Structure 1
Amino acid sequence: MPTVTGRTHTSTLARNLSHPLLREKPIKPARVTAQNGRLTPQTLDILKMARDYPLVISTGHADADEVRMLIEEALRIGVPRLMLNQPANPLTGLKAAELEVIGSEPSVYIEQTALTYLLGYQDRQDFTKVLSHVPNVVYSSDLGQTSQVDVHEWLSMSGQWFDAFGLSCERRAEMTLLNPQRMLAI
């Protein structure tokens, strides 16, 4: 689903365009809902395709209400794998308590990124609760900009956080290996 939605948010992250063409022809914003507040026909088609083919659909940067609609429709029609894309980011704004309920659905995966926490969009308590208690968490960095920490630094920071939060070896393996494997059906 779209990550360029047209909704305004002033990011604390400095970004560089990945290609000069984007200056002349920027990505057009898209939403998963129409003016009437319902999921668009295109969104419904994508969900049906995800039901019928071995795909994982990500919710993109949908807002909280749109994410709830996507989950409801995905469950209704039997989509086997739906991933909530950075649900704690300011554009979506879902908290650990709601994610704990959502994550109890076996076909719904919750992405928790280090970046959301590093940028201060998610407080330590919420970050800890997601990593400690929310089912079906897929832990990632989302650190794709060249100005951000590299993979080895992220792995080191993550290990320190996991130690500080008292995460078991089993929980670490769930978030970083087993849940992603299950989501990808490998």
Structure 2
Amino acid sequence: MALGENGGNRDPEVAALLKGAVDLHVHSGPSVMPRILDHEEAQAQAEEAGFAAILFKDHYYPGMSHAQMLEKAYPDRKVRLFSGVALNNPSGGINRYAVDHNIKLGGKIVWMPTFAAKNHIEKYAAKSKDALAFPSTREKMVEPTPLTVLDENGQLTDETKMCLDLIAEGDILLAGGHLHVTEQVPLFEEAKRRGVKKMMINHPTYLIDCTDQDMADFAAMGVYLEHSISMFIENARTKMFDGADLKRFIEAGTVDKTVLGSDLGLTQAPPPVEGYREIVRMLLDLQYSEADIRKMTSTNAASLLGIEV
């Protein structure tokens, strides 16, 4: 049977599996990039589907204030809202002050540079097939300064180490952003030495250049592997993988260290909750158990937020 062929008959099963889902990668607006829904709409849709939590990700600003105000504005909604800071140029790049502010305002994650990462900029300039899936801003912005966690000698910068110390002290999640795998290996090794307990590599097979062995090595180090749902589902302009790829990636990193985040809210793609419906159908077709599906769509992510579901 082809993947998804029997999906329509699985609607009740899929709906049940979405109860308690946790999405660590929601690209709702407002944003300088075009989005198909705003934070309140993302909250409402997640609430209707029974999600336990969603986390807003914007490349340009920390979203904790939006999350907290929306929870206050809609106290009857049970879905919890979180956010964090991406260490791109608008937040001052890789700097301890942005990390400290993020923690003090209740942020749950620090992403290393994404669109401002030297790796991202170089791939985009070279018109890499991967990078071309990345959206442009509504209006042309000031050209980003390329950022890396390594100094001219290939060692982690002192500022990066100070950021890691704050992340460890705050017991929040460190995400690799769009740094290249050759940067993320020393980053996570040093993070572990400095006491960071929650670590995650974003879409390891998109921009980052992870091999299956790299993913296995990261998982063995205790790093979670977040695969973007948007890259596997139909009717998304960012689709670049299929079910067979997903199965291989999960096997490389193990179910226990796999997180599926929507990476949705983008134009020309379904909204986040619909992305979850599609990926759950795919996982069922791939013969994953309900327990394993819940790990990858809920409890693994919840553990990184430090919440119960």
Same-fold call, TM cutoff 0.5: yes
Aligned residues with identical type, % of pairs: 24
Q: Residue 58 of structure 1: CA displacement?
A: 0.8
Structure 2's unaligned 5+ residue stretches are 1-111
Q: Residue 93 of structure 1: CA displacement?
A: 1.2
Q: Is 1:81 aligned to 2:202, yes or no?
A: no
Q: SS of the residue aligned with 1:7?
A: helix
For 1:126 and 1:74, how far apart are their aligned partners in 2? 29
Residue correspondence of structure 1 range 71-150 to structure 2 within 5 A:
71-89=188-206, 91-106=207-222, 108-117=223-232, 119=238, 121-122=240-241, 124-132=243-251, 134=254, 135-150=256-271
Change beyond 3 A, Cα 1:28–1:141: same
Structure 1's unaligned 5+ residue stretches are none
Q: SS of the residue aligned with 1:160?
A: helix
Matching residue's letter, 1:79 = V
Q: Residue 140 of structure 1: CA displacement?
A: 0.8
Q: Could you give the per-residue CA deviations for residues 67-122 of structure 1, whole angstroms, max 9, x where no partner exists?
A: 11112111222211111111111x2111333313321334x221111234454555
Q: Residue 183 of structure 1: CA displacement?
A: 0.9
* Equivalent residue pairs, number: 181
What RMSD, in angstroms, separates the aligned Cα atoms of the two structures?
A: 2.2
Q: Residue 8 of structure 1: CA displacement?
A: 2.1
Change beyond 3 A, Cα 1:123–1:66: farther
Q: Is 1:2 aligned to 2:113, yes or no?
A: yes
For 1:30 and 1:14, how far apart are their aligned partners in 2? 17
1:138 touches 1:175 (CA, 8 Å); kept in 2?
A: yes
Q: Is 1:160 aligned to 2:270, yes or no?
A: no
For 1:24 and 1:74, how far apart are their aligned partners in 2? 32
Q: Which has the larger radius of gyration?
A: 2
2:243 touches 2:286 (CA, 8 Å); kept in 1?
A: no
For 2:152 and 2:113, how far apart are their aligned partners in 1? 16
Which residue does the alignment assign to 2:185? 68
What TM-score do the two structures reach when normalised by structure 2?
0.53
Q: Is 1:48 aligned to 2:168, yes or no?
A: no
